[in-house]
Structures are given as structure tokens and as C-alpha cells.
Amino acid sequence: MEDSINFPAGNGETDKKGNFQGLTPREFIFKYLKYLPLLVFCVAVACVIAVIKIRYTPSIYRMQSSLLIEDQDNPAAGSKDQRFQEMFVGQGEANLKNEVQILRSSIVIERVVRSLDLQTRYYSVGAVRTTEIYPLSPFRLVVQHMADSMQGVKLPITVKSNTGFVIGKGAAIYTFGQAFDYGGNKLIVLRNNDVDLKDFPSPQFQMTWLPAYFVAGSLMGPLKILAPDDGTTILTLSFEGENTTLGVNVLNTLMAVYDSLKIEDKNRISANTLRFIDEQLDILKNQLGNMEGKTKGYMVQNDAVDIADQSKLYMGNIQDINSKLAEQQVRASVLDLLINYISDEKNRNKLVPSNLGVEEPAITQFVTEYNRLELQREADLKTTKPDNPMIRNMDVTLENVRNNMLQVLQNVRGSYQIAIGSLTDQARSNEGRLRAIPEKSMQLMNIERQRKILEDLYSFLLQKKLETAISSAATISNSKIIEPATASYEAISPNKKSIYLFYILLGILVPVGIVAMLEVLRDKVTSRADIEKNTRAPILGEIGHSESDQTLIVAQNSRRFVAEQFRIIRSNLQYIVGKKERPVIMVTSSFSGEGKSFISTNIGAVMALAGKKTVIMEYDIRKPKIVSGLDLKRKMGITNYIIGKASFEDLILPVQEMENLYVIPCGPIPPNPAELLLDPKLDELMDQVRRHFEVVIMDTAPIGLVSDAINLGKYVDCTLYIVRQDHTFRNQIRLIEDLYSERKLPNISVIINDVKPEGGYFSGYGYYGGYGYYGGYKNKSGYFDAERSSRLKGGLFGRLFNPFKKK
């Protein structure tokens, strides 16, 4: 029996071998086992929520495709002429970031919307969620007139038959194909008989018509375009959505629209160049006609002949110089044409012709930049007005580029004029040597030179016209579809594993959090460890929860479990009182309601059963319960003896059903109980009691409320401090430690009262150890008599599934 009592270590130090140890795994399991139903319930509810979420959350799929943006010269050109290759390649190497922005631009996406007719959407309205119908819908909405084309319209219908429907909750039945007015909009709903209405969960449908820009905005969110970082020019396009067919069509159409836009831009530049060349050819054609007539008239009028053989040497030099001079003059003429074209206000905001043989990089750069800005301005004007600040800023930028381009053209033309002047000086030097040549021949030569310039310029423009026409006919985009759009077989959302894991963890954390909060907020003693952590006073024993309505549990032939626990305490008391022949035992507690009188009565009874003449003294003068608990008739008591109104023999009340057990009542309640217990007559009374009885039990007032027990401490040999499970506050255990460490009461030991299996993990001679709960009467072992209970039903599992039951 000795091992079941927690005695303090020597010198007032904490026993490090057992007193303050934490929970063992078995104790931990039994302490929190009662919350298992809550845990199972929360996990089950979480799993149900997860199933519902997965069931009714739309499945999202990913569609993906790859697009190559070529940034090299077109190998099909087959020409080593850089200018000729540039005609086929266009504007040079591709900038992937620019191409990504073009692909995601509203103009391109709106084209996709119109190509797929996504302005009109159809939905099937179910009991829980609404699903889009694509690509085959049982209806087709025709918009004849929109009251406000920037707002759109939403049309809910309920099909009544294969020929009629109602709008919203209205009663009027409309026929398919019938024009009707809805919110100022003129609409027609046509029936597609190829789609059976029985394939849909309900006859309710919804149709929407939205502006192209609004639908384009809704497509930009799920559309993602990734540019590689490894130097390649392959863009990865992806689209996420519920409908895989819609996603595949959007991606494929987007790549096709992007391809067509590139071709359109190149064709527009080529068409503008051809128009410019045709205009200049018409002018040169007239000039050549005039020059030929002038040559013919001069020769007829002046009887001009060929140059003499003797002038061939000088003429050879002059021809070489004239050839170079003609080349420079052709270039200067081209520049004059460009300068006149650009300076002409009629050509403002028109594309500047390119690829006219001007090899100056600065001119090519400005022409390219001007055409790019002009194309961008035209594209922006499709969605905004000319007075928009953005268009005005772009006009300013275009004017600056235009002025800079004119300045560069003037500078280049000046350099050409310098070259022409130099060649002219050389020609004059050679002409001086030909003074002997007839003046008529010289005039004819000048006329022929002018005609030759015009012929060369005309031939050059014809060649460029042919090249531009060939380039326009062979225009191809700089993009190529590597992989057409395909949809993933498995949905990327919802992720079933993640959802189940999240909700199962949530189902575990919620009850754990609740239990943890209850443990944090619980301020009462629930376990033996709560006592051992706060005091070094030994624990004498534990008394289980009794369902009996009687105070006296211990009887002669009682085999109840609680009665056996009192017998264990009787045995343990031998180690507390030692060899005292007539021990005086005081029973106290922190405050009322902790079972002090119940413990006093039954300890007295168990002592009486051992053959010892035992008396229970009712020293709780303020609130006596011993006599009433034993159904005894109250008579003279301690207060009567102290004031001299009764003799010792008048005080003793025998307990009829228990031999050797007696009670000394408290008597009438005085107005000054604390002072009364200091009266010297009390010493005489205690001497009388010690002489007449072998065991004295003193049931005193709670020491946490009044000082009566401290005053009576001088008469006792040991003190039994009652702690009631789920009733005594934890901070009151510190009072026991103070009394124990300061030795204010002799031989303090603790008795834990009202121990319930669901409330803790008490061991020793408690519920879970020795003759404990699982080895006791609850499993019908035959050692104990079962208690009659009107409250606890169902054994362990009855309590297990009611963890929050009020105790």
C-alpha cells in the first residue's frame, strides 16, 4: 500500500522521481478518449463538406498550344540582295515581348470573340449551378436591335414545349422565331432541333449578349502567354476554363487571327508602295514622251549627226562621269520624290513608301518607325476618337518623326548634291577638251543624257513595282503553329487530394482547438497531475463518484467500489498517524461542497468496521451536515458543552446502523463561532473525547473560507484535505502547499473526491490502477457490488459519447 501514497522528498524538496511527472501515454489516451466522438464527427462533417465542394465546384481544365515567332530571314527568297530579302521579312527580327502584348491586345481578342461568335453565350440553369452550353446550343439568339450596345442583355427563359417558352417568371408564352421586345431590345430566339432538350437537367436556360470588348476582357484573365528565357522564340499559349472545346477554339482562333493581322499589315505597306510607284511612273511616262519629242525635233531642225571618231576618247571619259552623275541624280530624284510626298499635306497620316532603293540606314529607320506609328494610330482610332489625348500625343510624335525624316532627307540630298557638283566639275573639265565638237552634237548629247536619266528612273520604278508585287503575292506571316491547342485529360481544379487533405486537417484541428481551449479555460482540478504539480503534500487516496443518495456508503457487508476505496484510505492512514493509539483526524477543504462531511462520515464508518470505537465531531459549526446526513435527531452539542449547558454524556449520539460509530453534534449555531472555538472548555472536551474513543474524526469548516481549522489544528494528529474533481479550483491547491510547507496543520495529506473516469486519469488506488475502474465492478469482475445508478448508463461508451455532459 505504501507505494500508492506520494510522500514529499526530504528537506522540503520536490520528489523528482514521480511527483511531478507528466502524462504517460496510457493516461493521455484515457484523458482525451472521451473527445474521440467529437473528433470523428468533425472529420466526418469535413469529409462531407469536401465531397460537396468537389461535387459542385466546376472542373477547370488547361488547354495549351505553341506558336513559333520567326526572327530570321526568309530562306525562300533565294536572293543575296539585302533589300530584296527585307521585302519578304518585313520589319526585321521579332521582339517576343511585343508579340506577347499584341497577342493579348484587346483588338486581337475582340477579333477572336467575333470569329467564334462569343458575344452570345448560352447557359443551362441547374438546381445548384449554371453551366455554359458550348458549342452546340438548343437555341440561337438573334439581336435585331440593341437599345444600348455598350450594356448588353441577359435573357432568362423557361422552355414550355418544343415550340414555346416564357421569359423569366412571366406568364406570356413566346414562340421560337417570334420577334419580341425585351428591355427596349429587339430579339428573336430560334430553336435548334438538332439538340434535344431532354439532355439538360432543367427547362431553364439563360442567354446573354455582351459587347465584344466586355467578352474580350473576360477571356484575358484565363489566357496566359509565356515567353521562354532560353533564347528560343516559341511562345506557349494556355487557357483555363470549364469548357475544353471553348478553350481549344479560343487558342486556335487566336493564333489564326494573329497570323492574319501580320499578313494584313505587310500587305497594306506593299499596297501603299505600289500606289506610290504607279503615280511616279505616270509622271515619268509623260516626261519621257516629252523628252523623245524634243530629241526628235532638235535632230530634225538642226540636222544633228553622230559624234566623230576623234572625240571617242574624250567621250569615253565623259560617259563614265555621266554614268556616275546619272546614278547620283537618280538617287537625288528619288529623294526629291520622297521629300515632296512627305511635305505634301494631302499625304499626312499616310504610310511612307519604303524599299525605293535608298540605302541610307537613317532614312530606312525613320521610314520604318513612321509607318509603325501610323499603323498603331490607325489601330487605336478603331476603338477611340481623334481628340483622345493618346491620339493627340501620337500625332505629336508622328509630326516629330516626320520633321526629323524630312531633315534627314534634306541632309542626304545635300550630300548627293555635293557629289553631283564634283562629278559636274569633272565633266566640265572633259568637255573643255571637246570644244572642237560641234555645238549641235553637244546639245543633242545633253538631251540624250536627260532622257537617259528619265529612262533609268522609269526602269528602276518598274523593277521595284515588280518586286513589290511579287513580295505582296508571296507575303507570309512570321509566325508558325508548332502545336495546335489540346486540352488536358484531367482537371487542374478542384484538386481532390488537396481538398480532402485540407478538410480532414480542418476536421482534426477544429476539435483539437476546442479541446485545447477548454483545457486552457478550465480552472478546476481535473486530474491527479493538477494536484501533484502544485503541492508536495502526499495524496492519501481517491474516492470515486457515488450514485447513492445516502451519505453513509460504508456498511458491514458492503462490497461497493467506493466502500473499498475508503478501506484503502484506512490502510494508508496507518502510514500517516504512525503508532498513535488514539489518533485525532481532522477533515477540511478549501470551500463548501467538496464532500468534506461525506468523507468524514465514511472514514468514521470504515474505522468503526475495524473494531475501533470512533466518534465524528461536527466542528463545522456554521454549516453542519453530519447529523442531517445520518438522519439523526439533533440534541445537545459542542456549543452547549462550551457554554456549560451540557455534560459530555449528553453530547454523544450513536449511529444505529453502524456499531462503534458515534457522532458529537455541533449544537446551536452561535453568533461568534471563531471565538467560541478558542474557549478553554474545548481543551476539556478534547481530553474527554480522547479518553472515551479510539479514533476521533473532526469535520471542520473549510479552511479556505474561515480560520476554524487552524485553531483546531493543535488537537489533531493528521489532516485530511479534501479536493473534489471538477469542483476545486486549481489555484486553491497552492493553499495546500502553503499549509504543508509552513506546517500550519499537522501531517497534511490529500484525498481526491468524486473521481469520475471521464474526468481524468487518476491512478494508484483510483479508477485506472490497483483495483481501479477497468479492473473493478464496471467490468463485472466479481470483486465489487454494482451501484444503482439513475444517471450513468451505457458504461464506458455511454460516458464516452457525452464528453461535454454537465457533471
pLDDT tens-digit map of 643-663: 888 898 988 999 988 899 999
Mean pLDDT across 71-97: 48
Domains, in order of start, for the chain: 2-26+526-800 (3.40.50.300), 273-478 (no CATH)
Mean pLDDT across 660-679: 87
Mean pLDDT across 514-524: 80
Mean pLDDT across 87-113: 75
Of 37-46, 174-183, 403-412, 611-620, which gets the smallest average pLDDT?
403-412
Q: Which pLDDT score is estimated for 80?
A: 41
pLDDT at 287 exceeding the cut of 60? yes
pTM over 0.85: no
pLDDT at 795 exceeding the cut of 70? no
Q: Which pLDDT score is estimated for 302?
A: 56
DSSP letters of 278-306?
Answer: HHHHHHHHHHHHHHHHHHHHHHHHHT--P
The predicted-structure confidence for 430-445, as pLDDT tens digits, reads as follows: 666 565 455 666 677 7
Confidence grade of residue 224 (pLDDT, cut at 50, 70, 90): very high
pLDDT at 263 exceeding the cut of 70? yes
601 and 587 in contact (C-beta within 8 Å)? no
Mean pLDDT across 279-299: 79
Mean pLDDT across 521-527: 79
Q: Which pLDDT score is estimated for 300?
A: 64
Residues in the chain: 807
The SS3 of residue 241 is strand
Mean pLDDT across 250-266: 87
DSSP letters of 655-709?
Answer: -TTSTTEEEE---SPPS-HHHHTTSTHHHHHHHHHHHH-SEEEEE---TTT-SHH
Confidence grade of residue 19 (pLDDT, cut at 50, 70, 90): very low
- Among candidate residues 456, 461, 475, the one with its CA nearest the CA of residue 274: 461
Residue 699's beta-bridge partner residues?
Answer: 587, 618
**Alpha-carbon gap, residue 250 to 241, rounded angstroms:** 11
- Among candidate residues 782, 805, 775, the one with its CA nearest the CA of residue 792: 805
Range from 277-286, 328-337, 537-546 that averages highest in pLDDT: 537-546
**Alpha-carbon gap, residue 90 to 71, rounded angstroms:** 10
24 and 493 in contact (C-beta within 8 Å)? no
pLDDT above 70 covers a percentage of the chain that reads: 82
Mean of pLDDT over the chain: 80
Mean pLDDT across 711-739: 88
- Among candidate residues 395, 388, 349, 390, the one with its CA nearest the CA of residue 371: 349
pLDDT at 380 exceeding the cut of 80? no
Mean pLDDT across 203-212: 93
What φ, ψ does residue 181 adopt, rounded to 5°? -105, 130
Q: Which pLDDT score is estimated for 690?
A: 92
Q: Which pLDDT score is estimated for 438?
A: 59
The predicted-structure confidence for 125-135, as pLDDT tens digits, reads as follows: 988 888 999 99
pLDDT at 486 exceeding the cut of 60? yes
Mean pLDDT across 46-68: 90
Range from 147-161, 265-279, 442-456 that averages highest in pLDDT: 147-161
Confidence grade of residue 555 (pLDDT, cut at 50, 70, 90): confident
**Alpha-carbon gap, residue 553 to 605, rounded angstroms:** 9
Mean pLDDT across 304-317: 59
Mean pLDDT across 576-581: 82
Q: Which residues contact 322 (CB under 8 A, 6 or more apart)?
A: 427, 449
Confidence grade of residue 469 (pLDDT, cut at 50, 70, 90): confident
More confident residue, 301 or 728: 728
pLDDT above 90 covers a percentage of the chain that reads: 25
Q: Which pLDDT score is estimated for 761?
A: 42
Of 100-114, 148-162, 753-767, which gets the smallest average pLDDT?
753-767
Q: The C-alpha cell of 138 is what?
A: 438548343
More confident residue, 480 or 204: 204
- Among candidate residues 545, 594, 512, the one with its CA nearest the CA of residue 759: 545
pLDDT at 498 exceeding the cut of 50? yes
pLDDT at 343 exceeding the cut of 70? yes
Q: The C-alpha cell of 734 is what?
A: 497552492
Range from 292-306, 370-384, 625-639 that averages highest in pLDDT: 625-639
**Quick one: which H or E segment has residue 431?**
helix 389-432
Confidence grade of residue 807 (pLDDT, cut at 50, 70, 90): very low
pLDDT at 77 exceeding the cut of 70? no
Confidence grade of residue 171 (pLDDT, cut at 50, 70, 90): confident
Of 23-37, 599-613, 686-700, which gets the smallest average pLDDT?
23-37
**Quick one: which H or E segment has residue 36?**
helix 36-56
Q: Which pLDDT score is estimated for 254?
A: 92
**Alpha-carbon gap, residue 768 to 403, rounded angstroms:** 100
